[in-house]
Amino acid sequence: MIYYFISFKAFIRKAIGVILLTLLIINTSYARPNIAREYQLKAVFLYNFVYFVRWPPIAYGKNTATFNICILGTDPFGKEVDMAVENETVDKRIVKIIRLKNIFYAKSCQILFVSKSEQNNLDKIYTYLQKYPVLTVSDIHNFAIKGGMIEFYNVGRRVRFYIAPNNAKAVGLRISANLLYIAKLVGYKKNY
């Protein structure tokens, strides 16, 4: 066992010297950190889905002015989701964030994010939405396979999603192949 270093201080001095030198030599350009908070990222995903889904004309009803992204239950996004859609439009409609407490107001939404707080009301939500062309998104476990459309899940520190295309099709929503391509599909074949 070595019980001491040959002049520890000299070593430290050298080490610091080397570090300083490396600092000078190393190329100081580097990529932007690829990192975000979970719901910052999910908010941007949510907004992005707009471009990969086509809604039938009846989805907008009489309301032609706004494109509504609704959040049902306890809002996990906070101001992040408002920031994500600030000043954005879809087909000349202003994108609006609406926070809902009750599923019965969801028919005017184009996208509905179901918060984890609604875990116990899923049956009611699925049943109610069978009639309306609303893209349902959630991060509740098994959301898609049980009757929802898009379900976020995490693989390690990255966000992935399941899509149940049949559930979307049933209410007249068309999901672009580009989106289906990067998602995992569920409820498509019998045993996914």
Q: How far is CA 33 from the centre of its chain?
A: 19
Site string for another protein, 93-122 (x = CB under 8 A): ------------------------x-xx--
* Interacting span for another protein (CB under 8 A) from 62-70, 78-86, 93-101, 129-137: 78-86
In the bound state with another protein, the residue whose beta carbon lies nearer, of 48 and 127, is 48
Max distance between CA atoms of the chain, in angstroms, equals 83
* Interacting span for another protein (CB under 8 A) from 17-25, 56-64, 90-98, 125-133: 17-25
If binding is defined by CB under 8 A, does position 69 make contact with another protein? no
Q: Considering only residues 138 through 177, tell me which ones interact with another protein, judged by CB under 8 A.
A: 141, 154-160
Contact 105, 99 (CB under 8 A): no
The dihedral sign for the CA sequence 17, 22, 28, 31: negative
Contact 77, 116 (CB under 8 A): no
- Among the listed residues 134, 129, 90, the one whose alpha carbon sits nearest the alpha carbon of residue 109: 134
If binding is defined by CB under 8 A, does position 89 make contact with another protein? no
Other Cβ atoms closer than 10 A to 80? 18
Contact 85, 110 (CB under 8 A): no
Contact positions vs another protein (CB under 8 A):
1, 3-5, 8-9, 11-12, 15-16, 19-20, 22-23, 26-28, 30-38, 40-41, 43-45, 47-48, 52, 74, 79-80, 83-84, 117, 119-120, 141, 154-160, 178-179, 182
